[in-house]
Structure 1
Amino acid sequence: MAGVNKVILLGNLGSDPEVRTLPSGGKVVTFSIATSESYNNKNGERVEQTEWHRIELWDNLANIAEQYLKKGDTAYVEGRIRSEKWTDKDGIERTTVKIRGNALQLVGGRRGDAAADSGGQSYSSGSSSSNNYAPKSAPVPTPPPVEMAGGDDDLPF
């Protein structure tokens, strides 16, 4: 049976990323992203609803998040939903839902950064590339306008 487990989030960080280094040397970063939507209820009042999403990034993406993300920053995250079951100290079974990110885009750059207007950088977790810190795609230059000889009079319509 086939299925798709893909999540796309664009939101603001609710806190600085929390970094953990594993005994194996790997790194994992967790943080929360808030997404909001507004609507008018049946009484005509404007209502804003905020959802909090727990994000988990591993290895190279964890390094990027640790270095560049801070509370309040806007980030675009792609990943998949992961649920973990665990038992708390009182013996009650609990479930935590996380988003395990496999792509991260820094939206708007860092505060005080001259490159803040560049639109951000994109990163993805890939095991085949030796340099996962490079942006996914380079900016595409805009071609110069083309002047038509004879102006609009030569158009057939």
Structure 2
Amino acid sequence: MSTKNQFTLIGNVGQTPELKKTKDGKSYLNMSMAVNKRYKDSEGESKTLTNWFNLTVWEKQAEALAKMIKKGTLIAVGGELTTRKRKVGDEEISVTELKVDNLEVLSGGKSNNDSSEAPEEPTEE
């Protein structure tokens, strides 16, 4: 049987990402993304539950997106879940990351000359 490792999310960027480079010169963006779920509680009142996800975008895609994305931008992303070991103090822990292969700006992006305000940020509960 074949297996598959894939995710798709639509949500808002939590803060304007900063383009960084690894020690060996690879460009990357780390960013947070809020995905809101709206529902009604037992009394019929509308509620919003926000889930936060940490995303990583690499190389040419990261360089292009760094110029387009800001806090509040609505994006659709797809990719695969990856795990890696990370040292925290004296302990080595496993970290799950969402490696973005596809990203589409849906609204609220910016051009290189745009300095306008970002759309309202997602609700946190």
TM range, normalised to the smaller chain?
0.7 to 0.9
CA offset at residue 109 of structure 1? Answer: 5.6
Specify which structure has the bigger relative contact order, considering alpha-carbon pairs within 8 angstroms and separated by 6 or more residues: 2
Distance of 1:94 and 1:109 partners within structure 2: 36
Over the matched positions of the two proteins, sequence identity in percent amounts to: 24
Give a deviation string over 1:122-149, Cα, whole Å, max 9, x none. xxxxxxxxxxxxxxxxxxxxxxxxxxxx
Q: Is the 8 A contact 2:36 2:49 kept in 1?
A: yes
Q: Distance in 2 between matches of 1:109 and 1:50?
A: 19
| Equivalent position of 2:38 in the other structure | 38
Paired with 1:112 and 1:30, the residues of 2 have a C-alpha distance of 20
Task: Quickly say closer, same or farther: Cα 1:109–1:73, change in 2 above 3 A.
Answer: closer
Shift of 1:12: 0.6
Contact 2:55 2:99 in 1 (8 A): yes
Q: Secondary structure at the match of 2:61?
A: helix
- Matched letter for residue 26 of structure 1: K
- 1:47 aligns to what? 47
Counterparts in 2 of 1:110 and 1:87: CA distance versus 1, 3 Å: closer
For residue 65 of structure 1, what is the aligned residue in structure 2? 65
Higher strand share: 2
Query: Which residue in the other structure is 1:104 paired with?
Result: 103
2:75 and 2:26 map into 1 onto residues whose CA distance is 23
In structure 2, give the amino acid aligned to 1:9: L
**Contact map agreement 2:81 2:99 (CA 8 A) in 1:** yes
* 1:82 equivalenced with 2:82 (yes/no): yes
Tell me the TM-score normalized by structure 1: 0.63
Using the size of structure 2 for normalisation, the TM-score is 0.77
> What's the offset of the Cα at 1:3?
0.9
Q: Greater CA radius of gyration, 1 or 2?
A: 1
Structure 1 residues 16-25 or 53-62, which shifts more?
16-25
Coordinate RMSD, CA, aligned: 2.1
